[in-house]
Structure formats: structure tokens, C-alpha cells
Amino acid sequence: MSRLFGAMATLIEVFREHAGKDGDASTLSKSEVKSLLTKEFGAKLDSAKDKGAVDEMFKALDANADGTVDFTEFVTMVAALTVMMQGS
Amino acid sequence: MSRLFGAMATLIEVFREHAGKDGDASTLSKSEVKSLLTKEFGAKLDSAKDKGAVDEMFKALDANADGTVDFTEFVTMVAALTVMMQGS
């Protein structure tokens, strides 16, 4: 499997792992977003433990404001973070 | 490094590896897009060798039509392909 394909598969794996924890396995609830942020970015993202910041992040992620974060919204966040990372 | 962070770093690595081949190292030329598609998706993307398909792909990627594909345009493509992969 190519590196790029592997990276794409990882995005799907990480999303499914957290989305499957409660309720609808195709979307992330707020608590699932918090557990994902803490596990995947905890060390780099102090705000992952700060409730207000998670609420803000969740609102920003939940583009269609339906109270959940679907895969497209998740990948859009990862893409935006990656562009910021590349630029820094 | 978390899996997600590793995947994001891979997107940057793959882009930089191909973008650095000729001219401006911060953008992908058409030939660099072709070499990236062939190397990373060759087996899965027969069209990577088909000139017409690469032209079409390049036009679709080059959102601002400046004749090159920058990192944001590249990540947008990867995000779109990942959403398609997740949905299939």
C-alpha cells in the first residue's frame, strides 16, 4: 500500500474507531470528538481538555449544525490542520 | 506520534517529495502531479498513465487555474478521495 493510501486509510480508521463508541457509528458526538482530540492531539492541543475549547471546536467542525460531526466534516478539519502544519 | 498526526505528516512528506522535483518546490507542476499519481495510486488509478485523464485531473486540482497545484489544492484532493474511499 502506498504511503498516501496508508495515510488515507488511517484517517478512516481513526474516525471509525471514535465514531463507533456511542450512538451512530457514522458520526462523531461531542464526547467522541473530545476523546479523539485528546487521544490524537492531546499532547499538542492543551485545549482538548478544556471544555470551552472543545465546544468551540465542535461548533466549528459541525458545519451543518446537526449536532454531530460526519466524516466529511472530520476530513475537512484534518485537511485544514494539515495545511496549517505544512505552512508553519 | 499519534496515528492521525503521522498521517498528516505523510501528506506533507509526499507533497514535498514530488513538488521538489522541478521548478517551484512549493507547488506541483503537471509532470509532478503525474509522477505522484503514478507512484501513489498507479495500481489503483490506471488513468494515471493516460495523458488525457492526467490533464483532466490536473485541471480539477488546479482550483485557481494558475497552472500549478499548491498544498491546499493537493490536500483538498486527498480529502475528497478519502471521503469517496470511506463511502465505498
B22-79: per-residue pLDDT in tens? 878 899 998 898 889 889 887 655 655 677 878 888 888 898 899 999 999 999 989 9
Residue A68 has pLDDT above 60, yes or no: yes
User: B76 to chain A nearest CA, in Å?
Assistant: 7
% of residues, chain A, pLDDT over 70: 91
Q: Which residues lie closer than 8 Å to B43 by C-beta, 6 or more apart?
A: none
CA B29 to chain centre: 10
**Domain topology for B3-87:** Recoverin; domain 1 (1.10.238)
| CB-nearest partner of A75 from B13, B72, B79 | B79
Q: What is the pLDDT of residues A75-88, one digit of tens each?
A: 998 998 899 888 87
Q: Which residues of B touch A7 (CB under 8 A)?
A: 6-8, 10-11, 14, 78
Amino acid identity, residue B20? G
ipTM of the complex: 0.83
The DSSP code for A27 is: E
- Whether residue A4 and residue B75 make contact (CB cut-off 8 A), yes or no, is no
> Which residue ranges make up each domain of chain A?
3-87
pLDDT score, position B69:
92
Residue B15's pLDDT band (boundaries 50, 70, 90)?
Answer: very high
Whether the CB-CB separation of A19 and A26 falls below 8 Å is answered with yes
Residue A48 has pLDDT above 60, yes or no: no
What is the distance in angstroms between the CA of the first residue and the CA of the last residue of chain B?
Answer: 29
Please compute the mean of the pLDDT values over residues A2-16 and round it to a whole number: 93
By 3-state DSSP, what share of chain A in percent is helix, strand and coil, each rounded to 5?
70, 5, 25
Compute how many other C-beta atoms are within 10 angstroms of the C-beta atom of residue A7: 26
- Whether residue A2 and residue B86 make contact (CB cut-off 8 A), yes or no, is no
Which residue, among A70, A72, A83, A84, would best test binding to B if mutated, counting the most B CBs under 10 Å from its CB? A83
pLDDT score, position B56:
84
